[in-house]
Amino acid sequence: MEIGGVLFTEADIRSRVAALAEEVDEHYAGESCTVVSVLKGGCLFTADLIRRLTMPLYLSFAAVSSYRSGTTGGNPRIEFFPTDHEIRGRRVLVVDDILDTGRTLAFLRDVLVEAGVKEFKTCVLLDKPSRRITDFQADFRGFEVPDVFVAGYGLDYAGRYRNLPDIVGMRPGISPQ
């Protein structure tokens, strides 16, 4: 795969993140929450989003991996999880780069609800509804994207391109070195 066209420029992202932060701020209305940033892809978006939020917040991280067997979808597995005191009885906002099939966030929701969160909300920068295999919907979302593999602004292709300031579509071609 190689880089195709730019889908969202740095400026597009900046203004959409600002608008999203206003929506999120309005929801929390000054009440505290724990932001759980989903590693690795969600970290750049989280860093930009939380600097525009005004309620008191705790910052935590989660990482989920999928192990695939044959052609069936992989079972999500927790690799890293917030500590109990960061989430139990708290309002929790999970921030991720992209909502694709919905398996990752549906899994995280189940685990966080089981861990005793008071409220579970999600904020994703990108939403690819055409790929959804669960009924999961994000509470806050930045842009809808078509069914193309995207990279940049935290999102990777084969471990690369997370540092691109724009979000680009990948297209079949040469592999990254």
Contact residues: ligand XMP, CB under 6 A: 38, 41, 96-104, 149-151, 155-156
Q: How far apart are CA 15 and CA 19, in angstroms?
A: 6
Give the shortest CB-128-to-ligand XMP separation in angstroms. Answer: 6
Q: How far is it, in rounded angstroms, from Cα 151 to Cα 158? A: 10
Nearest to ligand XMP of 29, 72 (CB atom): 72
Nearest CB to ligand XMP, comparing residues 24 and 108: 108
Respond yes or no: is residue 100 known to be catalytic: yes
Q: With contact defined as beta carbons under 8 Å apart, do 39 and 97 qualify?
A: no
Q: How far is the CB of 105 from ligand XMP (least distance, A)?
A: 6
Q: Please, which residue, 48 or 100, has the CB nearer to ligand XMP?
A: 100
116 or 146, CB closer to ligand XMP?
Answer: 146
Q: How many Cβ atoms from other residues are within 10 Å of residue 65's Cβ?
A: 12
Residue 151 neighbours by CB distance under 10 Å: 24
The answer to whether the beta carbons of residues 117 and 92 sit under 8 Å apart is yes
- Catalytic choice (48, 96, 100, 166): 100
Instruction: Output the smallest distance, CB 38 to ligand XMP, in A.
Output: 6
State the chain's maximal CA–CA distance in angstroms.
Answer: 49
Contact 48, 21 (CB under 8 A): no
The one-character DSSP state at 129 is G
| Nearest approach, Cβ of residue 85 and ligand XMP (Å) | 25
Residues involved in catalysis: 100
